[in-house]
Amino acid sequence: MLKLMFIILLMFTQLALADVVINEVMYNPMCSFDKHCEWIELYNNNETSINMTGWTIKDNNKNDSLEGYNNIILQGHGYAIIVDDDTRVYNDFEIDDNVLWLYTGDDSIGDGLSNNESITLYDNNMNLIDVLYYDNNVTLEGNSFALINGEFVESEPTPGRSNENNQTNSNDYSKIKINEFMANPLGDDDSSMPDGEWVELYNTGNEDLDLLGFKLKDDSEKELLIDNVHIEESTRIKSKNYLVVYANGISGFLNNNGFEKIMLYDLNDNLIDEISYSDSKEGLSWSKINSMWQMTESTPNEENKDNSTIEQVTDSKIEIDRIYDLGSNKKAEWGSSIRVKISVYKGDTEKEVIESYISGDERITKISKANVYEKFSNNEITFPIQLGLNCDEKYKDGTYNIIVEGLNTEDKEDIEISGISKECYTKGIIKDDISKKESIKKEDTKENNITQETTKKVANINNRIVYENSSKEASRLGVFLFIALLIILISVLINERKDIS
């Protein structure tokens, strides 16, 4: 008993989670051969499309595989009608074109629908999707057994329409437009997504739509299926939004040269939209701008950019945005390091290197370099630039140019540089120079003093100029005085001796 309750609980849990339901059954038709006029209607009560490939339907006695398409896709809020191979249902009812027709592969559904059946729907892994039990519930021949307001009741038949109001539920796929495509990407055309070729669709309508199972075709009828292999996330395209379908390895889907066409088809191979073009330029996409097509910078999943001329896309551009690390006076100091932030758009060029430096009449710093590899890309780069110490004052304080160049373009901006770096003092570069100057000055002062103490006496001797030192002349005078005093002393002594005698 507990096991049976568990099975029943599990079954109802699965049914509660099911998106596809058995919605209507015609088991008592007004027809000579009932099996040719019997049908079962399925309904997808979710806006997301469901892949029903490999699903089966079962009555009391027999399983039938559902056939009709390589990929059986039941669109969001869409209907499918299960019939046998020899069905006459086409003739009995007016059924909308977007209804999915599925076949059992033989001349009956199961072994033919009786007045007392259990009808079970399984997915491709034989998981229970839905089940319906009925026991002679239809009293009037030609009426159906239909799900209305959550209950199955006898009803006038409404195949492919709402059971409540007999209204068709048709999704308006005409609102889906081809909006942009990349036919000649950088690198290999058949690269894995998000590289390689791609086509962008846009939903102009007010309802979300699921495009699972839709197809894109080129002029040679090569197909690109819209499924989870070619979409990054979901195949649903929201209202006023984008969906990018990637070739993702399909080789040569779109031509780079010559005439080419892109066509979008729904599940029933109805043409929804088409465009044609001739030739492409590597790295540029074709974009729809105000109902006109032009080659532009690619913008997958974004609003298209209006480039009125191709030069706006192919030409590179460099702009200096900001200079960092300047002093409060907005000047740079010799010996300091600054940073230069730039914005770079790389257009249609094979060049990759961008250089930055400071220059006056000549370049005064080393060159900082960076590489930009991807064409048609926007980049931000910050360069470091080191100023020299300038201790020998080779360069004058004043205005210089920050120059950033490369990719066939450049930008420049003025910068004021002044002051003597503190490193000139701390490293002894200026100190040694001052010491030398002071030493020379002292020597000059000493020589000047000697020159001032020395008097120059000029005499013409034999046509020569003789310089005499005044200190030597004083020395000679002293000797003369000493001799004179000595002579006087001797004379006095002689006279005194005579008097004694």
Tell me which residue range forms the domain holding 379.
317-418
Q: Given this model, what pLDDT does residue 66 score? A: 93
CB of 421 closer than 8 Å to CB of 336: yes
Same domain? For 151 and 33 the reply is yes
Please answer whether residues 41 and 24 qualify as being in contact, where contact means their C-beta atoms are separated by less than 8 angstroms: yes
Residues 322 and 358 in one domain: yes
Q: What confidence tens digit (pLDDT) does each residue in 20-31 have?
A: 999 999 999 988
Q: Is residue 61 part of a domain?
A: yes
Rounded average pLDDT over 414-428: 82
- In order, the DSSP letters of 374-395 are STTEEEEEEEEEEPP--TT--S
Domain shared by 443 and 473, yes or no: no
The secondary element (H helix, E strand) that includes residue 275 is strand 271-278
- Between β-strands 236-237 and 242-246, what pairing exists: parallel, antiparallel or unpaired? unpaired
Q: What was the pLDDT predicted at 251? A: 85
Residue 33 C-alpha from the chain's centroid: 63
CA-CA-CA-CA torsion sign (40, 102, 173, 20): positive
CA angle (117 as vertex; 113, 119 as ends), nearest 5: 85
Under the banding of pLDDT at 50, 70 and 90, the label for residue 93 is confident
Q: What is the DSSP letter of 192?
A: P
Residue 463: burial class (beta carbons within 10 Å; 0-12, 13-18, 19+): exposed
- Alpha carbon of 97 to those of 38, 87, 270, 369, 459: distances in Å? 20, 17, 9, 63, 138
pLDDT of residue 144: 94
- The reply to whether 326 and 407 lie within a common domain is yes
| Same structural domain, 196 and 124 | no
In a domain, 160, yes or no: no
Same domain, 142 and 218: no
Number of domains, the chain: 5
pTM for this predicted structure: 0.64
Structure-block tokens of residue 308 = 């009125």
Domain-located, residue 169: no
Q: How far is it, in rounded angstroms, from Cα 82 to Cα 163?
A: 17
Q: Is the predicted pLDDT of residue 247 greater than 70, yes or no?
A: yes
Task: Report the half-sphere exposure of 484 (CA within 13 A, side-chain side).
Answer: 6
Structure-model confidence comparison of residues 487 and 119, the more confident one: 119
Structure tokens at 138: 């239809």
What is the structure's pLDDT at 434? 46
Domain boundary pick from 268, 288, 313: 313
Model confidence pLDDT, tens digit, residues 345-403: 988 888 999 999 999 999 999 999 999 998 888 899 999 999 999 988 899 999 999 99
| pLDDT over 60 (residue 94) | yes
pLDDT of 5 over the 80 cut: no
Q: Could you report the per-residue pLDDT of 215-231, keeping only the tens digit for each?
A: 999 999 999 999 999 99
CATH number at residue 96: 2.60.40.1260
Average pLDDT over residues 157-177: 89
Q: Are strands 409-418 and 332-333 parallel, antiparallel or unpaired?
A: parallel
SS3 string, 417-482, reads EECCCCHHHHCCHHHHHHHHHHHHHHHHHHHHHHHHHCCCEEEEECCEEEEECHHHHHHHHHHHHH
H or E segment to which residue 34 belongs: helix 34-37
pLDDT at 298 over 80: yes
Beta-strand runs (E) in 279-373: 284-289, 292-297, 317-324, 332-333, 337-346, 353-359, 368-371
d(CA 83, CA 424): 96
pLDDT of 132 strictly over 50:
yes
The pLDDT score that the predictor gives to residue 474 is: 52
User: Last residue of some domain: 313, 330, 362?
Assistant: 313
Q: How confident is the model at residue 461 (pLDDT cuts 50, 70, 90)?
A: very low
**Domain check: are 11 and 148 in the same one?**
yes
Between CA 222 and CA 315, with CA 262 as vertex, the angle to 5 degrees is: 120
Q: Residue 254 and residue 277: Cα distance in Å, rounded?
A: 10
Q: Say if CB 365 and CB 357 are below 8 A apart.
A: yes
Of 409, 181, 423, 426, nearest to 295 by C-alpha is 181
Minimum mean pLDDT range among 109-118, 271-280, 302-311, 475-484: 475-484
pLDDT, one tens digit per residue, over 339-351 is 999 999 988 888 9
Is 2 a domain residue?
Answer: no
Indicate whether 163 belongs to any domain: no
35 and 86 part of one domain: yes
Going by pLDDT thresholds of 50, 70 and 90, the confidence category of residue 313 is: confident
* Cα 211 to Cα 246: distance, rounded to the nearest angstrom: 14
pLDDT of res. 500? 56
Q: Buried (b) or exposed (e) across 447-462, using 16+ Cβ within 10 A?
A: eeeeeeeeeeeeeeee
CA distance 151 to 137: 12
The full 3-state SS of 39-108, as one line of letters, equals EEEEEECCCCCEECCCCEEECCCCEEECECCCCCEECCCCEEEEECCCCCHHHHCCCCCCCEEEECCCCC
pLDDT for the residue 459: 32
Residues with Cβ within 8 Å of 245's Cβ and at least 6 positions away in sequence, in order, are: 198, 199, 200, 201, 216, 224, 226, 230, 231
Quick check: is 167 in a domain? no
User: What is the predicted pLDDT for the residue at 427?
Assistant: 62
| 288 and 185 within one domain | yes
Domain boundary among 369, 395, 418: 418
Is residue 309 located within the same domain as residue 321?
A: no
Are 247 and 302 in the same domain? Answer: yes
- The reply to whether 197 and 291 lie within a common domain is yes
| Per-residue pLDDT at 1 exceeds 60 | no
Identity of the amino acid at 47: E
